[in-house]
Amino acid sequence: MHESSETSSFGDQLVSLMPRLRRFAIGLTSSTHEGDDLVQSACQRALERTEQWRPGTRLDSWMYRIMQTIWLERLRAGAIRTSFLREQIEGPIVDGVRDADARTTFGKVRRILDEIPDQQRSVLLLVCVEGLSYREAAAVLDVPTGTVMSRLARARKTVMDRLDGMPSTAPAEASTDKEAAHA
Amino acid sequence: MRKRFPMQIPDDTVLMAYADGELSADVSDQVEGWIARMPAMQARVAAFMHSRALLQAALAAPLHEPTPHQSAALIGALGAMIASERKRKVVPLRTPRGDSPIIGYALAAGLAAIIIGFGSGLAWQSSVDYAVRMAALDAASAAALSQAVALTLETSPNYRAVMFHSASGIRQSITPLATFVTDDGAICREYLLAGRSEEIATACRDDNGRWLPRPVTGRRT
């Protein structure tokens, strides 16, 4: 807003990362609303602790770590609604969209992702979606690389197995799934 | 293909690491040797690649959406707040235990303040104008309190209370409750003022960094 200090250039970097931070947060929380809230809390925490970030290291990894930490804190505090309740609350507004979405492959993937245990979901998002290496993901989550690999393999097996088990609507998807255009 | 495969038959995890490009060239070569001999492994590798591509595509939507205006505005504003606070030589200190920071700073004479962790879960109902509260305090304390409020709003995240007491024995805590951007771009914070009674007030930051009490009809971010 005002002068160009270290902090505001830090803020600029943060703003440019925003789409990816939102993607991770929305994947983590399975909710756009919760995801945006998580991003905002993480940005606030990051700005309070800019001195803890070492320039030259990846800012995105640091932010993923902060989001993961806040998310775990919220889960532990029991502040997070279950996905069932979330659907009760957020569902009715977008019922039609939700129904249509659930029939697409991508909709199914999101639904399966929602059911994957939290620890596995974090790894899955960091590696497969955000493109971090195993080692980078291990650093973000503060676990050994071997743990990243075993969680990742389990989570991907779940995704593929459940997807195979679901009734296919491939023909409809090819013509109606808007996201196919992005992919 | 190769004359020997010192490596055991690659398991699922190794095939996944191969699909993700995580293996060294040497190990990749060995895995490729196995894949050439065992087509089932080729299918596993393809499945891992497919799952990755599918997840990326399924979660791509946020990349194509505009960043919510208020998040970007808030970052700019928070950054500016912190920068201006540093200029005033506020020294953040770490507490010896736990995670709650203590921010030490010099305030008007007779006023001592520390920031302590307060936890969330505050409940409130009434909204009383900040200025009304000010009138109830003696002039010196009022000035000190408004300084403390400004400092709290500049530095303390939501739900972290600033405790302070004045020379005349008034004890107050100030706890930011929410931070939001009004439609005209002003950064405002709602906060709890708790002493003998509890009140909620709202203040907005002007271009000079002053926090002015203001009734607000803005969107909460």
Q: B142 versus B91: which is more confidently predicted?
A: B142
In SS3 terms, chain B reads as CCCCCCCCCCCHHHHHHHHCCCCCHHHHHHHHHHHHHCHHHHHHHHHHHHHHHHHHHHCCHHHHCCCCHHHHHHHHHHHHHHHHHHHCCCEEECCCCCCCCEEECCCCCCCEEEEEECCCCCCCCCCCCHHHHHHCCCHHHHHHHHHHHHHHHHHCCCCEEEEEECCCCCEEEEEEEEEEECCCCCEEEEEEEECCCEEEEEEEECCCCCEEECCCCCCCC
User: What are the CA-CA distances from residue A167 to residues A163, A176, B35, B190 (Å)?
Assistant: 8, 17, 31, 50
Taking an 8 Å cut-off on Cβ atoms, the answer to whether B72 and A1 are in contact is no
| Whole-number percent of chain B with pLDDT over 70 | 56
Q: Which two tokens stand for residue A60?
A: 């995105």
Q: Could you tell me the CATH number of the domain that includes residue A152?
A: 1.10.10.10
Taking an 8 Å cut-off on Cβ atoms, the answer to whether B83 and A47 are in contact is no
Predicted pLDDT of residue A45: 87
**Quick one: A101 and A136 in the same domain?**
yes
Taking an 8 Å cut-off on Cβ atoms, the answer to whether B63 and A23 are in contact is yes
**Quick one: A168 and A112 in the same domain?**
yes
| A32, A40, A149 ranked by CB distance to B71: nearest | A40
**Quick one: A140 and A53 in the same domain?**
no
Set of chain B residues whose Cβ sits within 8 Å of the Cβ of A133:
22
Q: Which domain holds residue A155?
A: 91-183
B61 contacts chain A (CB < 8 A) = yes
What's the pLDDT tens digit per position in B174-212?
A: 888 888 777 777 888 888 887 777 778 888 888 888 888
Taking an 8 Å cut-off on Cβ atoms, the answer to whether B58 and A110 are in contact is yes
Q: Is residue A130 part of a domain?
A: yes
What's the pLDDT tens digit per position in A23-78?
A: 999 999 988 888 888 988 898 888 888 888 887 788 999 999 999 999 998 888 77
Cβ neighbours of residue B77 closer than 8 Å, sequence gap 6 or more: A1, B181, B187, B205
Q: A139 versus B188: which is more confidently predicted?
A: A139
Query: Residue B92 above 60 pLDDT?
Result: no
**Quick one: A109 and A180 in the same domain?**
yes
What's the number of domains chain A is made of? 2
**Quick one: A172 and A153 in the same domain?**
yes
**DSSP one-letter code for A55:** B
Separation of alpha carbons B102 and B114, rounded Å: 6
**Quick one: A166 and A135 in the same domain?**
yes
**Quick one: A67 and A105 in the same domain?**
no
Q: A131 versus B86: which is more confidently predicted?
A: A131
Taking an 8 Å cut-off on Cβ atoms, the answer to whether A14 and B75 are in contact is yes
**Quick one: A104 and A134 in the same domain?**
yes
Predicted pLDDT of residue A94: 43
Predicted pLDDT of residue B176: 82
B206 contacts chain A (CB < 8 A) = no
**Of A81, A101, A122, which residue sits at a domain end?**
A81
Predicted pLDDT of residue B68: 65
Q: Is residue A63 part of a domain?
A: yes
Q: Could you tell me the CATH number of the domain that includes residue A3?
A: 1.10.1740.10
Predicted pLDDT of residue A117: 92
Domain boundaries, chain B: 12-62, 69-213
Q: Which of A95-99, A150-154, B40-44 has the lowest mean pLDDT?
A: A95-99
Taking an 8 Å cut-off on Cβ atoms, the answer to whether B67 and A133 are in contact is no
**Quick one: A158 and A109 in the same domain?**
yes
Q: Which residue of B has its CA nearest to A12?
A: B76
**Of A81, A99, A128, which residue sits at a domain end?**
A81
Q: Give the mean model confidence (pLDDT) for residues B126-134.
A: 30
Q: Give the mean model confidence (pLDDT) for residues B57-81.
A: 70
pLDDT band at A177 (very low <50, low <70, confident <90, very high): very low
pLDDT band at A80 (very low <50, low <70, confident <90, very high): low
Q: Is residue A86 part of a domain?
A: no
What is the Cα Rg of chain B in Å? 28
Separation of alpha carbons B137 and A111, rounded Å: 56
Separation of alpha carbons A47 and A17, rounded Å: 14
Q: Which residue of B has its CA nearest to A13?
A: B75
Query: Residue B166 above 50 pLDDT?
Result: yes
B67 contacts chain A (CB < 8 A) = yes
Q: How far is B158 from chain A (nearest CA, A)?
A: 9
What's the pLDDT tens digit per position in B1-53?
A: 444 556 788 999 999 999 999 999 999 999 999 988 888 898 899 999 989 99
Residues A29, A35 contacting (CB under 8 angstroms): yes
Q: Give the mean model confidence (pLDDT) for residues B111-122.
A: 27
**Quick one: A174 and A128 in the same domain?**
yes
**Quick one: A113 and A133 in the same domain?**
yes
Cβ neighbours of residue B43 closer than 8 Å, sequence gap 6 or more: none
Query: Residue B150 above 90 pLDDT?
Result: no
Set of chain A residues whose Cβ sits within 8 Å of the Cβ of B55:
109, 113, 124-125, 128-129, 159
Contacts 24+ apart (CB under 8 A), B185-193: B185/B73, B186/B218, B187/B73, B187/B74, B187/B77, B187/B81, B188/B214, B188/B216, B188/B218, B189/B153, B191/B149, B191/B152, B191/B153, B192/B122, B192/B124, B192/B161, B193/B130, B193/B133, B193/B149
**Quick one: A47 and A123 in the same domain?**
no
**Of A81, A112, A138, which residue sits at a domain end?**
A81
